[in-house]
């Protein structure tokens, strides 16, 4: 009905009925709908898939809530503060980073006169086959192969992430990666790590360590086979004094931080652990 309709021409009976309806509406109390509390179950950790490993799967229980309805008055009753909850339109594929991933550079340095770097990309989950097809094509153009994905439709509803390394003019290569419905949470001393090299064409195998740790981790110690160690700490930004050993937050990856350790020349990876 048109809320601005004028009341000229109404009979006395119609006017009385309108007043009675307004009074009755003012006396109605609409309470808050009951909210069903859903307790989250214990976390189940499964084998993960990094490069050359098995796939990650995390079970997450979703909660549901009731809705709240409020009535502040009828049109023309003097209550001008009527509020209506309007549903927001769904976020676009671009806003969800389906075709253009969120990227974070973790570490950088120099090897044999050329710069190496490590970064993490996080791709948003496609919601339908159209989005999945386009995401699959963009990944292929960049040389990325999502884990366990045989066809574009396998990407629907899943987040993909890639830890990559690059050196000089060499095209970056994925070294740790996964495609999952939910990013796994890390806690305490949880960690995943892989030892790789600065370049596929170099003799630096086992000197570059990349991994993920809990958001609370303040120190990661990497041990090398010659008995020395490298220690990574949380950092923001880059400086001329960086030695490549660092822990950083990654855009689009809220459940863990990522770290990099760099071995001295002449030795290779032995182990890594969260030490604080």
Distance CA 161, CA 163 (A): 7
pLDDT at 154: 98
Does the pLDDT of residue 129 top 50, yes or no?
yes
Average pLDDT score over residue span 16-24: 49
Per-residue confidence band for 140, with pLDDT thresholds at 50, 70 and 90: very high
Does the pLDDT of residue 25 top 70, yes or no?
no
Percent pLDDT > 90 in the chain is 64
Q: How many CA atoms lie within 13 A of 89 on its CB side?
A: 3
pLDDT at 30: 35
Task: Compare 2 and 222 and report the one with higher pLDDT.
Answer: 222
Does the pLDDT of residue 240 top 60, yes or no?
yes
Strands (E), the chain: 102-111, 114-123, 159-167, 170-180, 191-196, 208-213, 220-224, 229-234, 246-250, 253-262, 269-274
Q: What is the pLDDT of residues 49-92, one digit of tens each?
A: 443 333 322 222 233 333 332 323 334 445 445 555 667 778 99
Question: How many CB atoms neighbour CB 11 within 10 A?
Answer: 8
Task: Compare 156 and 31 and report the one with higher pLDDT.
Answer: 156
Strand partners, 260: 210, 246
């Amino acid at each position: 009905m048109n809320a601005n309709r004028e009341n000229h021409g109404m009979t006395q009976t119609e006017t009385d009925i309108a007043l009675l309806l307004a009074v009755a509406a003012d006396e109605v109390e609409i309470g808050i709908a009951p909210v069903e509390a859903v307790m989250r179950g214990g976390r189940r950790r499964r084998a993960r898939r990094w490069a050359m490993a098995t796939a990650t799967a995390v079970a997450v229980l979703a909660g549901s809530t009731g809705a709240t309805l409020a009535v502040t008055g009828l049109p023309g009753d003097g209550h001008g503060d009527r509020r209506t909850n309007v549903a927001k339109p769904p976020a676009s594929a671009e806003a969800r980073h389906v075709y253009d991933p969120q990227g974070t550079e973790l570490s950088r340095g120099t090897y044999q006169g050329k710069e190496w770097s490590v970064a993490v990309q996080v791709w948003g989950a496609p919601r339908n086959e159209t989005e999945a097809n386009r995401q699959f094509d963009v990944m292929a153009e960049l040389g990325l192969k999502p884990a366990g994905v045989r066809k574009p439709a396998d990407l629907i509803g899943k987040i993909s992430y890639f830890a990559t390394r690059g050196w000089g003019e060499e095209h970056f290569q994925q070294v740790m990666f996964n495609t999952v419905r939910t990013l796994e949470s890390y806690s305490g001393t949880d960690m995943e790590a892989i030892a790789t090299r600065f370049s596929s064409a170099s003799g630096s195998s086992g000197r570059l360590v990349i991994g993920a740790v809990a958001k609370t981790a303040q120190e990661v110690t990497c041990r090398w086979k010659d008995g020395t160690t490298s220690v990574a700490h949380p950092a923001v930004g880059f400086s001329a004094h960086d030695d490549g050993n660092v822990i950083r937050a990654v855009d689009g990856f809220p459940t863990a931080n990522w770290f990099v350790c760099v071995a001295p020349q002449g030795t290779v990876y032995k182990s890594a652990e969260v030490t604080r």
